[in-house]
Structure 1
Amino acid sequence: MLDDAPEVWIGYERAFFETVHHRVENFIAGILLPHQNKKPDDPYIRTVMPRMGAIESTLHLLASLECPLERQPAATARQLAPYRSRPGPSMLLPRYRCPSDTSDLEWALLERLLPTPACQTPKGGAPEKWPRRRMVDAIRYITDNGAKWRALPADFGIPWRTVFGYFARWAKADVLRHILDQLRRRLRLNRRRCPWPVRVIVDSQSVKGAESVSKATRGYDANKHINGRKRHLLVDQDGLLVDLLVTPADVQDREAARVLLTRLHAEHPEIVLVRADNGYSGDEFSTWAQTALGITVKVVSRPKNAKGFVLVPKRWVVERSNSWTMRARRNARDYERLMSHAEAHVQWAFITLTTCRLTRRNAQTEAVPTPSAAAA
């Protein structure tokens, strides 16, 4: 068969190597590079390097052969050369595309809001080894798809411990809070609103905790019959996240609101009105908020004798924000050992939501009223 139709064999081999090409590149970038500094007599180097050299030679040979099939040329030695050099932010990484990846416009918004790399600061530091955009894409993948950190796909070409390290450091340094504030400010300006909200809505949401959630950071919500944690969200009139706090599920809403409103007043002193449900009612709590923080707590109750879901005026937007949070599968259940990491996943979900709204085609005019509508 091979003698009668050699072009069929060549086409089959070429298609096969194109199919697994990204796996070969991941192997070179993720496994071989850490072992380059080892001695030549290392058993790993003696075993693997000859095999990779044979694979590279085969790729080069197949790329030089004429194939009747209209396919992309296989990888050559020149294309694989960046993997032999020291990896850096501009290194070639496997080509892929996930639904959670940042677009070029989204990355243009996020890149300027991330912390300055250490190598560009006066104090100095080593250059970052991996591209930041790929790092953000990996974090968004975990949040959006609900995967384990150890199950980060090899297509990203970055060790999962490195991605988790960036996730934890940015969360601890309040980088995500800063990004959310700036993105929310820009989106409100596009909608012809004041950049800083003065009225917010607060609500809580109980979610089940996985076995990784410690006993000290979880509780039982007797009202919702949920054993886990509780998220306390503060959103503006458009449902965009302003602040949040994660507590054990047995913490009362009013007790968590004291901590949340105190922090809110320190960071956003312009906010003077908070709308809430009956869980935040009580003269003692409202008096404390008015006298100590200058914030008016207005309870918006459900209509009497109402059954099922009711669209409560002025307060329904926070319910929609809770559903936006659950769109990211990592937030459908609390898996985090630290409550700060649980807050970070919610913040990443709203960062993705806000950047998508800012970069879609009608973002500039989606809430700008027309002259006829304004007259009406």
Structure 2
Amino acid sequence: MSIEYPSSLSDDQWRLLRRLIPPAKLRGRKRIDRRQIVDAILYWCRTGCQWRLLPDCFPNWNTVYGVYRAWRIDGTWQRIHDRLREKVRRKEGRKPTPTAAIIDSQSIRSAEGGELRGYDAAKRITGRKRHILVDTLGLVMVVVVHSADLQDYEGAHLVLENIRQKFRRLRVIFADSIYGRADLPEFLKQWYRVILQTVKRPVEAEGFVVLPKRWIVERTFAWLGKFRRLSKDYERLTQNSETVIRIAMIQFMLNRLEK
């Protein structure tokens, strides 16, 4: 029995995605339709249900989770995410990698305990921080999930340590004023040849103000908020937390490519 949900892949999306996933093993048990497995993972991410509560129309939850975990460990989710980001950028008339980016973090409550939890005194939240670097289209370039008690300018080092290898064209990063502390701009300029430009809130402004460039990363957090699995941090491992964000963006980018 096959039931289509709003999160299910269309035929065009599946044709695009199946080229990016590892081929199924020829030996062993009877092969299960990979499309059904991917649909189950997207359903899990969109609805926020537990693995054991996947509807019966999907393959056994243990099989679905096994594929999800294997693809996390071997880097498949990361590769799919990066390839789709490049495709979206090309569709928008951009180069595959950007020259400008925006960085920010989001403190989120942790529901399951697990590793790397802390208290963010500014937000009064016990949990973790989702630290992301996005391009000017709002597409995620790098995501790192760490303890909420880590300051933004400290967590930025975890986000930016690999940009030299993956994003050689990157020249400027826009950020909140807190990223200007602890000599972070000087460090980036010396070791990464990247300018960190802080976007400050106008002194005379009152209430909500749309700040140049910084609104782009806030919009990305709003996109992620549409996925119920991301309403809190339900994962025990931060690697799983990062993978859920990539899966959410994969579904978002597939929808964008189909338009």
Name the TM-score class by shorter chain: over 0.9
Structure 1 counterpart of 2:12, which letter?
A: L
Structure 2 counterpart of 1:143, which letter?
A: C
Q: Distance in 2 between matches of 1:312 and 1:226?
A: 24
Matched, 1:99 2:99: no
1:209 CA drift (Å)? 0.7
Q: For the Cα contact (< 8 Å) 1:220–1:250, is it kept in 2?
A: yes
Q: Percent identity?
A: 37
SS in 2 for 1:217: coil
Q: Deviations over 1:45-69 (max 9, x none)?
A: xxxxxxxxxxxxxxxxxxxxxxxxx
Structure 1 counterpart of 2:197, which letter?
A: K
Q: 1:108 is matched with which residue? A: 15
Name the structure where strand makes up a greater proportion of residues. 2
1:147 CA drift (Å)? 0.4
How is 1:307-318 mapped onto 2 (pairs within 5 angstroms)?
307-318=206-217
1:308 CA drift (Å)? 2.8
Q: 2:48 is matched with which residue? A: 146
Q: For the Cα contact (< 8 Å) 2:24–2:31, is it kept in 1?
A: no
SS in 1 for 2:31: coil
**Alignment partner of 2:32 out of 112, 130, 133:** 130
Q: For the Cα contact (< 8 Å) 2:153–2:182, is it kept in 1?
A: no
**Alignment partner of 1:241 out of 136, 140, 161:** 140
Q: For the Cα contact (< 8 Å) 2:145–2:238, is it kept in 1?
A: yes
Structure 1 counterpart of 2:113, which letter?
A: V
Q: For the Cα contact (< 8 Å) 1:117–1:127, is it kept in 2?
A: no
Q: Distance in 1 between matches of 2:107 and 2:39?
A: 28
1:322 CA drift (Å)? 0.4
Q: 1:184 is matched with which residue? A: 85
Structure 2 counterpart of 1:155, which letter?
A: C
RMSD: 1.4
Structure 1 counterpart of 2:225, which letter?
A: M
Q: Deviations over 1:152-188 (max 9, x none)?
A: 11111x1111111111111122212211221111111
**Alignment partner of 1:357 out of 240, 250, 256:** 256
Structure 2 counterpart of 1:131, which letter?
A: D
Q: Distance in 2 between matches of 1:162 and 1:269?
A: 38
Structure 2 counterpart of 1:259, which letter?
A: L
1:244 CA drift (Å)? 0.4
SS in 2 for 1:228: strand
Relative distance call for 1:252 and 1:283 in structure 2 (3 A) is closer
Q: Where in structure 1 are there 5+ consecutive unaligned residues?
A: 1-93, 120-124, 361-376
Q: Where in structure 2 are there 5+ consecutive unaligned residues?
A: none
Which portions of structure 1, spanning 4 or more consecutive aligned residues, are displaced by more than 3 angstroms?
Answer: 125-128
Q: For the Cα contact (< 8 Å) 2:102–2:133, is it kept in 1?
A: yes
Count of aligned positions: 259
1:291 CA drift (Å)? 0.8
Q: 1:332 is matched with which residue? A: 231
Higher relative contact order (CA 8 A, sep 6+): 2
SS in 1 for 2:137: coil
Q: For the Cα contact (< 8 Å) 2:135–2:141, is it kept in 1?
A: yes
Structure 1 counterpart of 2:201, which letter?
A: R
SS in 1 for 2:93: coil
Name the structure where helix makes up a greater proportion of residues. 1
Q: Distance in 2 between matches of 1:292 and 1:198?
A: 17
Question: TM-score, normalization: structure 1?
Answer: 0.67
How is 1:291-330 mapped onto 2 (pairs within 5 angstroms)?
291-330=190-229
Relative distance call for 1:109 and 1:262 in structure 2 (3 A) is same
